[in-house]
Protein backbone atom coordinates (compact mmCIF):
# COMPACT_ATOMS: atom_id res chain seq x y z
CA UNK A 1 0.00 0.00 0.00
CA UNK A 2 2.82 2.41 0.87
CA UNK A 3 4.48 1.92 -2.54
CA UNK A 4 1.11 2.44 -4.25
CA UNK A 5 0.57 5.69 -2.33
CA UNK A 6 4.02 6.88 -3.35
CA UNK A 7 3.19 6.23 -6.99
CA UNK A 8 -0.07 8.15 -6.63
CA UNK A 9 1.69 11.06 -4.93
CA UNK A 10 4.08 11.36 -7.88
CA UNK A 11 1.12 12.12 -10.16
CA UNK A 12 -0.46 14.46 -7.62
CA UNK A 13 -2.98 12.15 -5.96
CA UNK A 14 -2.66 12.23 -2.18
CA UNK A 15 0.39 14.49 -2.44
CA UNK A 16 1.36 17.51 -0.37
CA UNK A 17 -0.69 20.69 -0.86
CA UNK A 18 0.12 24.38 -0.50
CA UNK A 19 -2.17 27.28 0.38
CA UNK A 20 -1.20 30.95 0.75
CA UNK A 21 -3.18 33.14 3.16
CA UNK A 22 -2.90 36.89 2.57
CA UNK A 23 -3.39 39.11 5.61
CA UNK A 24 -4.89 41.71 3.28
CA UNK A 25 -5.63 41.08 -0.39
CA UNK A 26 -6.18 44.80 -1.08
CA UNK A 27 -2.94 46.72 -1.45
CA UNK A 28 -1.42 49.72 -3.20
CA UNK A 29 1.79 49.64 -5.29
CA UNK A 30 4.88 49.86 -3.13
CA UNK A 31 3.27 48.39 -0.02
CA UNK A 32 4.33 45.16 1.69
CA UNK A 33 2.46 41.98 0.81
CA UNK A 34 2.13 39.93 4.01
CA UNK A 35 0.73 36.52 4.79
CA UNK A 36 1.39 32.88 5.58
CA UNK A 37 1.94 29.78 3.48
CA UNK A 38 0.38 26.59 4.83
CA UNK A 39 1.90 23.34 3.58
CA UNK A 40 0.05 20.13 4.37
CA UNK A 41 1.58 16.71 3.91
CA UNK A 42 -0.20 14.12 1.82
CA UNK A 43 -0.57 10.37 2.27
CA UNK A 44 3.19 9.79 2.21
CA UNK A 45 6.31 11.65 3.28
CA UNK A 46 7.82 13.85 0.57
CA UNK A 47 10.98 15.90 0.06
CA UNK A 48 10.31 19.56 -0.76
CA UNK A 49 13.23 21.06 -2.65
CA UNK A 50 11.91 24.61 -2.85
CA UNK A 51 8.98 26.84 -1.84
CA UNK A 52 8.60 29.67 -4.30
CA UNK A 53 6.24 32.61 -4.73
CA UNK A 54 5.79 35.15 -7.48
CA UNK A 55 3.44 37.99 -8.33
CA UNK A 56 2.38 38.21 -11.96
CA UNK A 57 0.10 40.12 -14.27
CA UNK A 58 -0.79 40.12 -17.98
CA UNK A 59 -0.42 42.53 -20.87
CA UNK A 60 -1.51 42.68 -24.51
CA UNK A 61 0.87 42.54 -27.44
CA UNK A 62 0.37 42.86 -31.20
CA UNK A 63 1.91 39.89 -33.04
CA UNK A 64 1.37 39.34 -36.77
CA UNK A 65 -1.77 41.50 -36.94
CA UNK A 66 -3.35 39.77 -33.97
CA UNK A 67 -3.49 40.55 -30.25
CA UNK A 68 -2.01 38.06 -27.81
CA UNK A 69 -1.95 38.07 -24.01
CA UNK A 70 1.38 37.46 -22.29
CA UNK A 71 2.28 36.95 -18.65
CA UNK A 72 4.77 39.15 -16.83
CA UNK A 73 6.32 38.11 -13.52
CA UNK A 74 6.67 41.27 -11.42
CA UNK A 75 8.53 39.86 -8.44
CA UNK A 76 9.88 36.47 -7.32
CA UNK A 77 10.31 35.43 -3.71
CA UNK A 78 11.91 32.26 -2.35
CA UNK A 79 10.26 31.27 0.90
CA UNK A 80 12.25 28.18 1.91
CA UNK A 81 14.11 25.26 0.47
CA UNK A 82 15.08 21.66 1.23
CA UNK A 83 12.63 20.41 3.83
CA UNK A 84 11.13 17.03 4.65
CA UNK A 85 7.35 16.86 4.99
CA UNK A 86 5.84 13.90 6.75
CA UNK A 87 2.43 12.42 6.03
CA UNK A 88 -0.35 14.82 7.16
CA UNK A 89 2.22 17.18 8.69
CA UNK A 90 1.35 20.88 8.56
CA UNK A 91 4.00 23.58 8.34
CA UNK A 92 3.36 27.32 8.30
CA UNK A 93 5.78 29.90 6.86
CA UNK A 94 5.18 33.67 7.22
CA UNK A 95 6.19 35.89 4.31
CA UNK A 96 6.54 39.60 3.62
CA UNK A 97 7.83 41.30 0.49
CA UNK A 98 7.23 44.57 -1.31
CA UNK A 99 4.83 44.87 -4.20
CA UNK A 100 6.67 46.72 -7.00
CA UNK A 101 5.73 50.35 -7.65
CA UNK A 102 5.10 49.35 -11.29
CA UNK A 103 2.33 46.90 -10.35
CA UNK A 104 -0.75 47.72 -12.46
CA UNK A 105 -4.05 48.60 -10.85
CA UNK A 106 -6.66 45.87 -10.98
CA UNK A 107 -9.30 47.89 -12.78
CA UNK A 108 -11.51 46.68 -15.63
CA UNK A 109 -10.55 43.01 -15.17
CA UNK A 110 -6.78 43.57 -15.12
CA UNK A 111 -5.43 40.55 -13.18
CA UNK A 112 -2.66 40.58 -10.59
CA UNK A 113 -2.09 37.33 -8.76
CA UNK A 114 0.18 35.58 -6.31
CA UNK A 115 1.32 32.11 -7.35
CA UNK A 116 2.75 29.86 -4.62
CA UNK A 117 4.28 26.50 -5.43
CA UNK A 118 6.30 23.59 -4.14
CA UNK A 119 9.17 22.03 -6.02
CA UNK A 120 8.75 18.35 -5.16
CA UNK A 121 11.37 15.85 -6.27
CA UNK A 122 10.12 13.33 -8.86
CA UNK A 123 6.51 14.49 -8.57
CA UNK A 124 4.01 16.96 -9.98
CA UNK A 125 4.56 20.31 -8.28
CA UNK A 126 1.49 21.54 -6.35
CA UNK A 127 0.66 25.25 -6.54
CA UNK A 128 -1.88 27.80 -5.36
CA UNK A 129 -3.12 31.03 -6.96
CA UNK A 130 -4.52 34.03 -5.06
CA UNK A 131 -5.78 37.16 -6.81
CA UNK A 132 -4.76 40.53 -5.39
CA UNK A 133 -6.74 43.77 -5.57
CA UNK A 134 -4.34 46.58 -6.38
CA UNK A 135 -5.80 50.00 -5.51
CA UNK A 136 -4.55 53.42 -6.64
CA UNK A 137 -1.69 54.94 -4.69
CA UNK A 138 -2.79 58.25 -3.03
CA UNK A 139 -0.75 60.20 -5.61
CA UNK A 140 -2.53 58.35 -8.41
CA UNK A 141 -5.93 58.85 -6.80
CA UNK A 142 -5.52 62.61 -6.55
CA UNK A 143 -4.78 62.75 -10.30
CA UNK A 144 -7.76 60.55 -11.14
CA UNK A 145 -10.01 62.70 -8.96
CA UNK A 146 -8.75 65.87 -10.65
CA UNK A 147 -9.55 64.48 -14.10
CA UNK A 148 -13.01 63.45 -12.97
CA UNK A 149 -13.64 66.94 -11.58
CA UNK A 150 -12.57 68.38 -14.94
CA UNK A 151 -15.23 66.30 -16.67
CA UNK A 152 -13.19 63.35 -17.96
CA UNK A 153 -14.72 59.89 -17.76
CA UNK A 154 -12.53 56.80 -17.69
CA UNK A 155 -13.67 54.36 -20.36
CA UNK A 156 -10.73 52.06 -21.06
CA UNK A 157 -7.70 50.69 -19.20
CA UNK A 158 -5.18 48.30 -20.76
CA UNK A 159 -1.74 46.94 -20.05
CA UNK A 160 0.07 47.18 -23.37
CA UNK A 161 3.44 45.99 -24.63
CA UNK A 162 5.86 48.90 -24.67
CA UNK A 163 9.39 47.73 -23.74
CA UNK A 164 11.16 51.10 -24.09
CA UNK A 165 8.62 53.03 -22.04
CA UNK A 166 7.90 50.33 -19.48
CA UNK A 167 11.25 50.46 -17.68
CA UNK A 168 12.17 47.14 -16.12
CA UNK A 169 8.93 45.55 -17.34
CA UNK A 170 7.88 45.24 -21.00
CA UNK A 171 4.49 46.96 -20.62
CA UNK A 172 2.71 50.09 -19.44
CA UNK A 173 -0.79 50.52 -18.05
CA UNK A 174 -2.64 53.04 -20.17
CA UNK A 175 -5.78 54.86 -18.97
CA UNK A 176 -8.08 56.43 -21.54
CA UNK A 177 -10.62 59.15 -20.76
CA UNK A 178 -13.33 60.84 -22.78
CA UNK A 179 -14.40 64.43 -22.13
CA UNK A 180 -17.94 64.92 -20.87
CA UNK A 181 -17.67 68.49 -19.60
CA UNK A 182 -16.26 71.72 -21.03
CA UNK A 183 -13.73 69.89 -23.23
CA UNK A 184 -16.36 67.88 -25.03
CA UNK A 185 -16.16 68.79 -28.69
CA UNK A 186 -12.56 70.01 -28.34
CA UNK A 187 -10.76 66.78 -27.46
CA UNK A 188 -11.25 63.24 -28.72
CA UNK A 189 -9.70 61.66 -25.66
CA UNK A 190 -7.08 61.94 -22.96
CA UNK A 191 -4.61 59.11 -22.37
CA UNK A 192 -2.58 58.76 -19.20
CA UNK A 193 0.33 56.64 -17.99
CA UNK A 194 1.60 56.60 -14.40
CA UNK A 195 5.24 56.08 -13.38
CA UNK A 196 5.41 55.74 -9.60
CA UNK A 197 8.43 55.57 -7.30
CA UNK A 198 9.06 56.00 -3.58
CA UNK A 199 9.35 59.80 -3.74
CA UNK A 200 6.95 61.07 -6.38
CA UNK A 201 4.65 60.19 -9.27
CA UNK A 202 5.40 61.02 -12.90
CA UNK A 203 2.34 61.45 -15.10
CA UNK A 204 2.43 61.21 -18.88
CA UNK A 205 -0.52 62.75 -20.70
CA UNK A 206 -1.38 62.35 -24.36
CA UNK A 207 -3.83 65.07 -25.34
CA UNK A 208 -5.70 64.12 -28.50
CA UNK A 209 -7.13 67.28 -30.03
CA UNK A 210 -10.28 66.98 -32.10
CA UNK A 211 -9.56 67.70 -35.76
CA UNK A 212 -11.41 70.61 -37.40
CA UNK A 213 -11.74 71.51 -41.08
CA UNK A 214 -9.53 70.26 -43.93
CA UNK A 215 -6.28 71.12 -42.16
CA UNK A 216 -7.51 69.44 -39.02
CA UNK A 217 -8.40 66.30 -40.94
CA UNK A 218 -4.91 66.07 -42.42
CA UNK A 219 -3.38 66.64 -39.02
CA UNK A 220 -5.42 63.82 -37.51
CA UNK A 221 -4.73 61.52 -40.45
CA UNK A 222 -0.99 61.81 -39.90
CA UNK A 223 -1.26 61.53 -36.09
CA UNK A 224 0.06 65.06 -35.65
CA UNK A 225 -2.79 66.14 -33.42
CA UNK A 226 -1.46 64.31 -30.38
CA UNK A 227 0.22 66.33 -27.66
CA UNK A 228 2.47 64.72 -25.07
CA UNK A 229 2.96 66.26 -21.64
CA UNK A 230 4.86 65.05 -18.58
CA UNK A 231 4.47 66.44 -15.09
CA UNK A 232 5.38 65.40 -11.56
CA UNK A 233 3.13 64.95 -8.54
CA UNK A 234 4.72 65.23 -5.10
CA UNK A 235 3.26 63.97 -1.80
CA UNK A 236 2.38 67.46 -0.54
CA UNK A 237 -0.13 67.90 -3.40
CA UNK A 238 -2.47 65.40 -1.72
CA UNK A 239 -3.36 68.14 0.76
CA UNK A 240 -3.97 70.63 -2.08
CA UNK A 241 -5.94 68.77 -4.76
CA UNK A 242 -7.42 72.00 -6.13
CA UNK A 243 -3.93 73.17 -7.12
CA UNK A 244 -3.32 69.96 -9.07
CA UNK A 245 -6.70 70.26 -10.78
CA UNK A 246 -5.91 73.83 -11.82
CA UNK A 247 -2.49 72.79 -13.13
CA UNK A 248 -3.92 69.99 -15.27
CA UNK A 249 -6.60 72.34 -16.53
CA UNK A 250 -3.93 74.86 -17.57
CA UNK A 251 -1.94 72.14 -19.34
CA UNK A 252 -4.95 71.03 -21.39
CA UNK A 253 -5.93 74.63 -22.18
CA UNK A 254 -2.43 75.36 -23.47
CA UNK A 255 -2.68 72.51 -25.98
CA UNK A 256 -6.07 73.34 -27.46
Q: Is the model's pLDDT at 12 over the cut of 70?
A: no
The span from the CA of 243 to the CA of 128, in Å, is: 45
Q: What is the pTM of this model?
A: 0.87
Query: What is the pLDDT, as a whole number, of residue 11?
Result: 35
Instruction: Give the range among 6-15, 40-49, 106-115, 244-253 with minimum mean pLDDT.
Output: 6-15
Phi first, then psi: give them for residue 169, nearest 5 degrees: -120, 155
Q: Check: CB of residue 252 under 8 Å from CB of residue 183.
A: yes
Q: Check: CB of residue 119 under 8 Å from CB of residue 16.
A: no
DSSP-based three-state secondary structure for 21:
strand
Q: What is the mean pLDDT of residues 33-47?
A: 86
Neighbouring CB atoms inside 10 A of 211's CB total 16
Whole-number CA gyration radius for the chain: 24
Please count the residues of the chain: 256
CATH topology of domain 2-134: Immunoglobulin-like (2.60.40)
Name beta bridge partners: 90.
Answer: 40
Q: Check: CB of residue 56 under 8 Å from CB of residue 76.
A: no
Domain with CATH 2.60.40.640 in the chain: 2-134
- Of 26, 15, 80, residue with least CA distance to 53: 80
Query: What is the pLDDT, as a whole number, of residue 83?
Result: 83
In the chain, which ranges are E strands? 17-22, 26-27, 32-40, 46-63, 66-85, 90-98, 112-120, 127-131, 133-134, 152-161, 171-179, 187-196, 201-209, 226-233
pLDDT averaged over every residue in the chain: 85
Per the rule left: phi > 0, alpha: psi between -120 and 50, beta: everything else, 212 is beta
Tens of pLDDT, residue by residue over 126-136, are 688 999 999 99
Buried b / exposed e over 92-121, threshold 16 CB at 10 Å, is: ebebeeebebbbbbbeeebbbebbbbbbbe
Phi first, then psi: give them for residue 235, nearest 5 degrees: -55, -30
Tens of pLDDT, residue by residue over 82-122, are 788 888 889 999 999 999 999 999 998 999 999 998 887 64
Tens of pLDDT, residue by residue over 164-181, are 776 789 999 999 999 998
Query: What is the pLDDT, as a whole number, of residue 211?
Result: 54
For a pLDDT cut of 90, what percent of the chain falls above it? 55
Query: What is the pLDDT, as a whole number, of residue 210?
Result: 58
- Reported confidence tier of residue 60, pLDDT bands at 50, 70, 90: very high
The span from the CA of 13 to the CA of 28, in Å, is: 38
The span from the CA of 154 to the CA of 247, in Å, is: 19
Q: DSSP readout, 156-206? A: EEEEEE-TTTSTTSSEEEEEEEEE-STTBTTEEEEEEEEEE-SS-EEEEEE
Amino acid sequence: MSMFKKLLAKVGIGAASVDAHLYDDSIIPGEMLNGEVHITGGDVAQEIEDIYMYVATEYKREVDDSTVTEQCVLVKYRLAESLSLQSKEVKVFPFAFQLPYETPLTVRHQPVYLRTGLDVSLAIDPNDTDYIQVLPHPLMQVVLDALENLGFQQYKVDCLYHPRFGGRYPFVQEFEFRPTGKYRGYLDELELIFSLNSDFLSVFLEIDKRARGLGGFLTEAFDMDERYVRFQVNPDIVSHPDELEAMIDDIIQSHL
